[in-house]
């Protein structure tokens, strides 16, 4: 373990000999297996039709790149140099620098995909979109323009099988119909997928095998829907819904998937789960706890972390596991000597079968921990690094890219902990 304090300071696909690393870069960290879907009907377009990209051009959904740039490099389990440095302040990050609100300026999500670091930001309460999608390219040492998405905020990302997905949280200032956005390996811009009928919002995306699940939000009097797609979001089938009273709307805020389980939570204290090992049907869970119920997944294990709002933009409250029809209080995160430590964020490790979490104490000190078994609880974590408090700021997001741990802050700055692990000889 090391301690760090802050200081300032047209790509070509690599040869096919790096195919193994490319598969790691493209695959889902949780090792998802093939899922099932069931439905009452379809919405959306034909999977053979063209879809609009974030750059305003069209691309055929069938013309997909075959290789991803790697997001990992060979390392050992020993600590590396762990040099902490500023990559870019908010004023230098394209798109984020132009956000006018405090929430919009939060660098709330980071994700490593196709050799680059991708950013989630914006404010769908004050409609500060559309969102300019740029990614940090560590090889070029610069930000890469990947188009503009017609949404007011990008909250998070999900990756599977050589593609990166993000939901249309609030398309066109609450006036549009949402779907999902997709970035293919090697692509020069994001693709805007087929809209989902009735989806004023699409809040979350989960992938199980070849199936994409999207949780939607409705207008008043209409249901929230959990939709499934097996053609990269070109057409959609309803698999689950929550009806709304005539004077209310419903929203499915969070969706999570293990190889055998789908979890969904939403407004009006609602949560349900489908276990393939059971009868394959969704069952509403009794007495959901307060807060935003966010699934955290590693392999077959799922923990439900409750936040006061969206992760990266709100306070951690508590954690639970789902057993039968109930939520069971759990303490799955690292136990620190400072009892004020709370969960901040989580990300995939260089080894896709391990998970990283960042904890923070009341004085702003952050600590990084790793586990290979989320089902084992607090005793299964190994501490990897500590980061001294940032003056006037705090860390809210992270992603590991080619052995550098990138960290996003509430103030919109991007830092890196260089060489998290010792490079392999």
Instruction: Kindly write down the DSSP assignment for every residue of 352-370, as one continuous string.
Output: TT-EEEEEE-TTS-EEEEE
Kindly state the percentage of the chain with pLDDT values over 90. Answer: 72
Average pLDDT rounded to a whole number, residues 373-383 = 94
**What is the chain's length?**
425
* C-alpha R_g of the chain: 20
Residues contacting 40, CB < 8 A, separation 6+: 237, 238
For the stretch 17-43, pLDDT in tens is: 333 333 333 433 333 332 332 333 333
pLDDT at 177: 78
* Model confidence at 315: pLDDT above 70: yes
- Is 159 in contact with 111 (CB distance < 8 Å)? yes
- Is 297 in contact with 305 (CB distance < 8 Å)? no
pLDDT at 176: 63
DSSP per-residue string spanning 197-243: TT-SEEEEEEEETTEEEEEEE--TTS-EEEEEESSTTSEEEEEEEE-
Q: Nearest-CA neighbor of 114 among 164, 156, 149? A: 164
pLDDT at 99: 97
pLDDT at 27: 37
Give the span between the Cα atoms of 262 and 295, in whole angstroms.
Answer: 10
Better-scored residue on pLDDT, 79 or 31: 79
pLDDT at 3: 52
Q: Which domains does the chain have, with CATH numbers?
A: 13-47+56-423 (2.130.10.10)
State the average pLDDT for the chain. Answer: 85
pLDDT at 251: 94
pLDDT at 174: 54
For the stretch 285-301, pLDDT in tens is: 999 999 999 999 999 99
pLDDT at 286: 93
- What is the sign, positive or negative, of the torsion defined by CA atoms of 76, 32, 204, 249? negative
Average pLDDT rounded to a whole number, residues 60-81 = 79
* Model confidence at 214: pLDDT above 70: yes
Average pLDDT rounded to a whole number, residues 39-64 = 39
Two structure tokens written together for 56: 């305003």
Give the span between the Cα atoms of 185 and 113, in whole angstroms.
Answer: 8
Average pLDDT rounded to a whole number, residues 174-194 = 87
- Is 80 in contact with 420 (CB distance < 8 Å)? yes
For the stretch 234-270, pLDDT in tens is: 899 999 999 988 888 899 999 999 999 999 999 989 9
Q: What confidence tier does 175 reach under pLDDT thresholds 50, 70, 90?
A: low
pLDDT at 1: 52
């Amino acid at each position: 373990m090391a301690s760090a304090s802050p200081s300032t300071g047209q790509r070509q696909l690599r040869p096919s000999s790096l195919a193994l690393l490319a598969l790691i870069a493209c695959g889902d960290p949780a090792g998802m297996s093939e899922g099932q879907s069931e439905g009452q009907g379809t919405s959306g377009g034909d999977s053979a039709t063209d879809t609009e990209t974030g750059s305003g051009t069209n691309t055929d959904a069938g013309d997909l790149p075959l290789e991803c740039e790697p997001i990992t490099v060979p390392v050992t389990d020993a600590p590396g140099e762990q040099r902490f440095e500023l990559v870019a302040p908010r004023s230098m990050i394209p798109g984020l620098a132009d956000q006018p609100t405090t929430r919009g300026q939060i660098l709330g999500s980071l994700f490593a995909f196709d050799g680059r670091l991708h950013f989630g930001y914006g404010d769908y309460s004050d409609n500060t979109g559309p969102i300019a999608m740029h990614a940090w390219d560590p090889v070029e040492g610069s930000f890469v323009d990947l188009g503009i998405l017609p949404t007011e905020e990008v909250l998070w990302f999900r990756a599977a099988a050589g593609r990166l997905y993000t939901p249309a949280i609030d398309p066109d200032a609450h006036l549009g119909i949402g779907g999902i956005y997709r970035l293919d390996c090697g692509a020069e811009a994001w693709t805007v997928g087929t809209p989902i009928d009735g989806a004023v919002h699409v809040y979350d995306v989960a992938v199980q095998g070849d199936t994409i699940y999207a949780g939607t939000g409705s207008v008043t009097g209409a249901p929230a829907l959990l939709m499934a797609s097996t053609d990269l979001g070109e057409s959609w089938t309803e698999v689950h819904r929550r009806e709304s009273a005539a004077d209310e709307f419903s929203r499915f805020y969070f969706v999570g998937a293990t190889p055998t389980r789908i979890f969904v939570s939403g407004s009006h204290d609602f949560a349900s789960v489908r276990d393939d090992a059971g009868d394959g049907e969704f069952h509403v869970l009794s007495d959901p706890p307060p807060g935003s119920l966010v699934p955290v997944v590693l392999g077959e294990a799922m923990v439900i972390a409750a936040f006061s709002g969206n992760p990266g933009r709100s306070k951690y409250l508590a954690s639970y596991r789902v057993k039968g029809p109930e939520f069971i209080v759990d303490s799955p995160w690292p136990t620190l000597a400072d009892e004020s430590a709370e969960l901040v964020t989580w990300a995939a490790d260089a080894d896709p079968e391990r998970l990283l979490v960042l904890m923070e104490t009341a004085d702003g000190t952050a600590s990084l921990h790793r586990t290979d078994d989320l089902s084992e609880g607090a005793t299964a974590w190994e501490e990897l690094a500590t980061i001294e408090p940032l003056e006037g700021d705090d860390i809210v997001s992270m992603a590991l890219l080619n052995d550098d741990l990138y960290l996003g802050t509430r103030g919109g700055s991007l830092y890196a902990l260089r060489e998290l692990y010792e490079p392999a000889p």
